[in-house]
Structure 1
Amino acid sequence: MRSFARIKVRGIPLWGWMAAAALYVVAAGLAVDIAWQRSIDSIAEVGSHRLDLYAAALRSELGRYETVPGIVARQDSVRALLRTQPDAARAALLPIVNHYLEAVNGDTGGVAVDVIDLHGEVIAASNWNQPLSFIGTNVSYRPYFQDALARGSGRFFGIGTNTGMPGLYFASAVLDAGKPIGAVAVKVSVDALESAWRSPGEAAMVVDGNGVIVISTVPAWKFTALTPITPDRQRQIEASKQYAGRAVPLLPHRRLDDWDASARFARYPDWTRPGHDTRYLELSRPAPQAGDSIRVLLDVEPAMRQQRTAFAFVTALFMIAGLYTLYAIQRRRAIAEKLKGQDALRRANDRLEATVEARTAELTAANVGMQREIAERARTEQELVHAGKLAVLGQMAAGLTHELNQPLGAIRTLSDNARAFIERGQQPLAIANLERISKLVDGMAVLTSELKTFARKSDVERVAVSLDDAVAHALLIYEARMRTDEVQVDVRIPAGTMVCAEPSQLQQVLVNLLGNALDAVASEPQRHISIEAQPAEQPGRVLFSIADSGAGIAPDVLAHLFEPFVTTKPRGRGLGLGLAITSRLVLGFGARISASNRPDGGAQFTIEFMSMTETGVVDG
């Protein structure tokens, strides 16, 4: 049994691999821990600055309004209004005080400024002329009013019982001869403060003495509790209507471990992903208002990214070192193997030269045989193309015979009539019959010339061919069959469309495709064939298509349609060579042919030709 110390993996002792792995684990752990420590310290420092800014903003906002009630309480008209009983004198003072309060509220930007009598009833307000005026509202249960009468001033955060809007209330007692005769209260909205505090990746909030979030940059967290509310405290809240009778649910969160004296980790609901919670670094400090605290939650994802970066960096260093070590070992092995291989190569070279000479002779003989076979196949293919033409001619024979018999019978009748007219001396009528005979003969000559051109073997020479003329010639060949079968043919080919092709082979392609389309619609109640051409998306190309209203092509046949001996016709109606020949001819033009089934039924054959000008220069 081999000694443990002698075991090697890729040329390195096993103990070396184990030592490297242990070193890697220690280095990666230290790097990840250091990255985490530094990142969290940086995040905590940012959070501390944020808390300073939020506390300063809150202190500034409170300072703007805290002195307003005291200033209003010293106004002579306000004290006169509170000293006067509800009579004509108070009615005269009330518009003056209301307009004064309205002006003060407009200058300070608060929600409302109220004057409250000793019974807690609002007798004057800045919103005296609004639908939700506070005049007549009794606020004796509010702590800010009670504190103002007892201690001279009061401060309170709550939800308005009339408007349902949350806000901060500041109150100051109105004194007469050193005794309180009422109070002045100012309500301030915190919406602007919340908007100013919003920042991506963090949440800021103010928590009151009840443990309830009263200001929050996350709207869904407002008026939720961070700690359970005791029954005694709940009774006090209900008595003061601090939250206007709203239920205060507990915000689901969980405190984790502490980072330092003012920061700790906690899990809160993720406000960007409902239904998920996220770990945050939570920092807090007392707020300017007694009993309240300001808290900020900072996302620790940047610290986690630093961890991953540190881990990836250490891993990359060890991988580079490992790869360099393996490279050095492999290089030493390669040099040794190279020296051995040179000797073996010299020995094999001699054997290879002899083998190459023998194989070269064999390849030369095989090449000569292959050239002969290629030439033979080329001749066979030309014969096969010509045979395809003759097969199509055979299929057209019956229709053409009928087409020729009609004019032949008419010629015989017209000639007999002409002879009779001559015998009677009616030469004009005889000449008219002879002219009709001449026209019938010309029509028959056109048919026979088309058949002769179609059947003739020709050399392949790609030239500019008029596509609309070629289609017209193919339609002429099948004119009798289309008339007999009542087939409707719709041709949409722009005049002057020129394609690159060999004329007679293009004629054979069109005749094959048109014949297949006629076969496809022969047994259909609606017999329609559509022939059209249009420019392709690729410049210098023309898309030509023939579509029929037949039953379409079976999917298993469609994939092999252009292979030899594949046909959709009944047994005895075709050998399956027509489309194979058509495909080879189209490829010879430098074009592409494809077949598909139309969504509304029937088959469609599409050829993408190279377009040409009449001078033979390829467009595009």
Structure 2
Amino acid sequence: MTMRGIPLWAWAAAAALYLAAAAAAMEFAWHRGLDALTDAGAHRLDLYAASLRSELGRYEILPALAARQDSIKTLLEAPRDSRRALLPAVNGYLEAVNKDAGSVAVDVIDLNGDVIAASNWNQPVSFVGTNVAYRPYFIDSISTGSGRFFGIGTNTGEPGLYFASAVRGGQKVLGAAAVKISVDPLEHAWRVPNEAAMVVDGNGVVVISTVPAWKFTALAPIAAQKQAQIQATRQYAGRKVEALGYERLDDWRNGAWFARLPDRAHPGRERRYLVMSRSAPQAGDAIMVVLDLSAARRQQQLAFAFVTGAFLIAALYALYAVQRRRVIAERLKAQDALQRANDRLEATVQQRTAALVTANERMQEEIDERARTEQKLRDSQQELVHAGKLAVLGQMAAGLTHEINQPLVAIRTLCDNARTFFERDQPAQAIANLERVGKLVENMAVLTAELKAFARKPETQTVPVPLGDAVAHARLIYEARIRDEGVHVDVDIAPDAIVEAEPGRLQQVIVNLLGNALDALAGRDERRIRIGARRADDPARVMFFIADNGPGIDPQVLAHLFEPFVTTKPRGHGLGLGLAITSRIVEGFGARISAANPDGGGAQFSIEFVAAESRQ
């Protein structure tokens, strides 16, 4: 029997080989993963032991140095009723030492075990007045000269490591000096993902741990007698030490072993870990590192996935080879039929190609004709825009004639007066008249330059143009009409209102709109025009508007206002092309123009330009 062309015995042999290879690969990966964990754990233990030794070494000598201070010896030798005068100096010294060392507290203890001076003498929680005669570090320091002890503070409830040293006056023990340090920095520095570290003291109690829930628990249940001794020293602030739930399982290589502990991520559950241990710098203590086995399990999963993938690829290749033989056979059978069909297709393609060539030639002719038509249309539009500008120039001619005639009359009069002054030998007055003539000529030159620039055919490329400059040029052209008709023009152009436009065409747009606004104010008692521009909500756009207080725009005309030959002016006063030309120019800038009748009356034209920097 076969399945997909392969015998069943071959499938069975492949399955057996796959299971054996997968089991061997997973076992090999498991061992390699555990060896890598033990190497990492040994390295971690070295680091933790070094950091603990360094941290303890920083503070171990501090009590001995404090015990040598004469002020502390004098305080302990003095009678109780005369110590008050000596306390400020000692307390200040202890406070400075504690601040410089970065410890929790430094204190002085008399032979009765009473703390008579402390660095936190002025804090809300002070050690002054506390009796520590039952603490092992005090007992050891009095009897042996030094003591070391890990416990929870009876005043603060905070765990810490205590160092103490006897204070001697000659051969006599006067008391002890002690320092308390916090282990929080160590716990913080030891925190590593997928790993836990802890220090176990001589009682088998976890006193330092990167897992807060494990602190002050015992690796094994503590006997009642031992519990009583612990309670007597109040080493753990009087709390009963509970068992952690630690169970040692099988051993592994390099001093590592498996153990069952509470799951760090899921309280209430247990989990198997790889544990390694090393003696701590403090006698009787041990540093333990608890390593998560998930990395080794991932190695197993990767090995399983690799073997599975390899066998799947082999199986797929076998199926592909069988299927390929079938396809080749079918392809040979179909090759003759395909050749016949190909011959017929080539004949059809030749016929269709001839038809497509003919159609393509006709299409190319149409494209060329359309291109010529579009070029003619652009030329016509350009001439229409220029004609519109000349029409505006014609409308402005009357006002400009008055503006030019007045300076000419003044120039004629000033020249006659200058000749008279020269004849009278008064050159100073004659020169003053000639200077006034020069200023009048300059004013006329500015006006004619604006007209020349306005009449010039526009450029074909947009550039950044400040709207304030374009409005100023337009106002200059209509300055005489604005003054003679008593129109109040209010301009509010933001400094950053710079748009992409062709300067000449932009000026023509504003001139057309300003001229329409002046026309709309004819016959009004109060004549006002507002012009403004500022950035829109979209920083890539600039909003420009020009509004008047005229009669507004007929609503029936408003919808068709920008169409050619649509006008609100009387017959003979316009062809209705100004706004149509303006609309085409604005659209050429990539802008949008609109008209409306505001609630306050009058008409308003708005243009939404493209900001200049948005195209950089």
Identify the TM-score tier after normalising by the shorter chain.
Answer: 0.5 to 0.7
Hey, what does 1:12 align to over in structure 2?
6
Find the partner of 1:23 among 11, 17, 21: 17
Distance 1:47 1:261 in 2: 10
Hey, what does 1:50 align to over in structure 2?
44
Distance 2:43 2:335 in 1: 72
Find the partner of 1:254 among 247, 257, 263: 247
Q: Is the 8 A contact 2:227 2:241 kept in 1?
A: no
Structure 1 letter corresponding to 2:157: G
Distance 2:275 2:283 in 1: 21
Distance 2:335 2:203 in 1: 89
Query: How many residue pairs end up in the alignment?
Result: 344
1:92-103 pair list within 5 angstroms: 92-103=85-96
Hey, what does 1:62 align to over in structure 2?
56
Hey, what does 1:128 align to over in structure 2?
121
**TM-aligned CA distance change 1:96 to 1:18, over 3 Å:** same
Distance 1:55 1:186 in 2: 21
1:264-303 pair list within 5 angstroms: 264-303=257-296
Structure 1 letter corresponding to 2:248: R
Hey, what does 1:154 align to over in structure 2?
147
Structure 2 letter corresponding to 1:19: A
1:372-411 pair list within 5 angstroms: none
Hey, what does 1:242 align to over in structure 2?
235
1:527-538 pair list within 5 angstroms: none
SS of the counterpart of 1:92? coil
Deviation of the 1:336 alpha carbon: 5.2
Deviation of the 1:310 alpha carbon: 1.2
Deviation of the 1:229 alpha carbon: 0.8
**TM-aligned CA distance change 1:342 to 1:133, over 3 Å:** closer
Distance 2:90 2:331 in 1: 107
Deviation of the 1:145 alpha carbon: 0.7
Hey, what does 2:79 align to over in structure 1?
85
Distance 1:165 1:156 in 2: 14
Q: Is the 8 A contact 2:220 2:246 kept in 1?
A: no
Whether 1:110 and 2:117 are equivalent positions in the alignment is: no
Q: Structure 2: state its 5+ residue gaps.
A: 342-555, 560-616
SS of the counterpart of 1:150? helix
Whether 1:218 and 2:211 are equivalent positions in the alignment is: yes
Q: Is the 8 A contact 2:166 2:173 kept in 1?
A: yes
Q: Is the 8 A contact 2:261 2:272 kept in 1?
A: yes
Find the partner of 1:142 among 127, 130, 135: 135
Q: Is the 8 A contact 1:27 1:314 kept in 2?
A: yes
Distance 2:226 2:253 in 1: 31
Structure 2 letter corresponding to 1:16: A
Find the partner of 1:195 among 188, 199, 203: 188
Whether 1:36 and 2:18 are equivalent positions in the alignment is: no
Any idea what the Cα deviations from partners look like across 1:147-203, whole Å, max 9, x if unmatched?
Answer: 111211110000111111110000011122223221111111111221122222221
Deviation of the 1:275 alpha carbon: 3.6
Structure 1 letter corresponding to 2:140: D
Any idea what the Cα deviations from partners look like across 1:363-394, whole Å, max 9, x if unmatched?
Answer: xxxxxxxxxxxxxxxxxxxxxxxxxxxxxxxx
Distance 2:3 2:122 in 1: 91
RMSD: 2.6
Any idea what the Cα deviations from partners look like across 1:482-525, whole Å, max 9, x if unmatched?
Answer: xxxxxxxxxxxxx99x9xxxxxxxxxxxxxxxxxxxxxxxxxxx
Hey, what does 1:518 align to over in structure 2?
none
Hey, what does 1:172 align to over in structure 2?
165
Any idea what the Cα deviations from partners look like across 1:36-58, whole Å, max 9, x if unmatched?
Answer: 22222222222222211111111
Deviation of the 1:328 alpha carbon: 2.0
Distance 2:254 2:317 in 1: 47
Whether 1:332 and 2:316 are equivalent positions in the alignment is: no
Distance 1:126 1:332 in 2: 91
1:178-189 pair list within 5 angstroms: 178-189=171-182
Q: Is the 8 A contact 1:148 1:171 kept in 2?
A: yes
Q: Is the 8 A contact 1:262 1:285 kept in 2?
A: no
Any idea what the Cα deviations from partners look like across 1:20-73, whole Å, max 9, x if unmatched?
Answer: 222111211121122222222222222222211111111111011100111111
SS of the counterpart of 2:133? coil
Hey, what does 2:387 align to over in structure 1?
none
Any idea what the Cα deviations from partners look like across 1:521-562, whole Å, max 9, x if unmatched?
Answer: xxxxxxxxxxxxxxxxxxxxxxxxxxxxxxxxxxxxxxxxxx
Deviation of the 1:333 alpha carbon: 4.2
Q: Is the 8 A contact 2:227 2:240 kept in 1?
A: no
Distance 1:193 1:100 in 2: 27
Distance 2:273 2:232 in 1: 36
SS of the counterpart of 1:87? helix
Deviation of the 1:241 alpha carbon: 0.5
Deviation of the 1:245 alpha carbon: 0.8
Distance 1:305 1:238 in 2: 45
Distance 2:195 2:120 in 1: 37
Higher alpha-carbon deviation: 247-256 or 64-73: 247-256
Q: Is the 8 A contact 2:276 2:289 kept in 1?
A: yes
Structure 2 letter corresponding to 1:41: D
Distance 1:102 1:309 in 2: 58
SS of the counterpart of 2:80? coil
Deviation of the 1:204 alpha carbon: 1.4
Hey, what does 1:604 align to over in structure 2?
none
Q: Is the 8 A contact 1:73 1:174 kept in 2?
A: yes
Distance 1:267 1:238 in 2: 28
Hey, what does 1:321 align to over in structure 2?
314
Hey, what does 1:376 align to over in structure 2?
none
Higher alpha-carbon deviation: 313-322 or 19-28: 19-28
Deviation of the 1:282 alpha carbon: 1.7
Hey, what does 2:359 align to over in structure 1?
none
Any idea what the Cα deviations from partners look like across 1:323-355, whole Å, max 9, x if unmatched?
Answer: 212222233345556678899x99xx9xxxxxx
- TM-score, reference length from structure 2: 0.52
1:579-594 pair list within 5 angstroms: none
Hey, what does 1:505 align to over in structure 2?
none
Structure 1 letter corresponding to 2:161: L
Distance 1:176 1:262 in 2: 49
Q: Is the 8 A contact 1:102 1:126 kept in 2?
A: yes
Seq. identity, %? 65
Q: Is the 8 A contact 2:252 2:258 kept in 1?
A: yes
Find the partner of 2:68 among 67, 74, 80: 74
Q: Is the 8 A contact 1:267 1:280 kept in 2?
A: yes
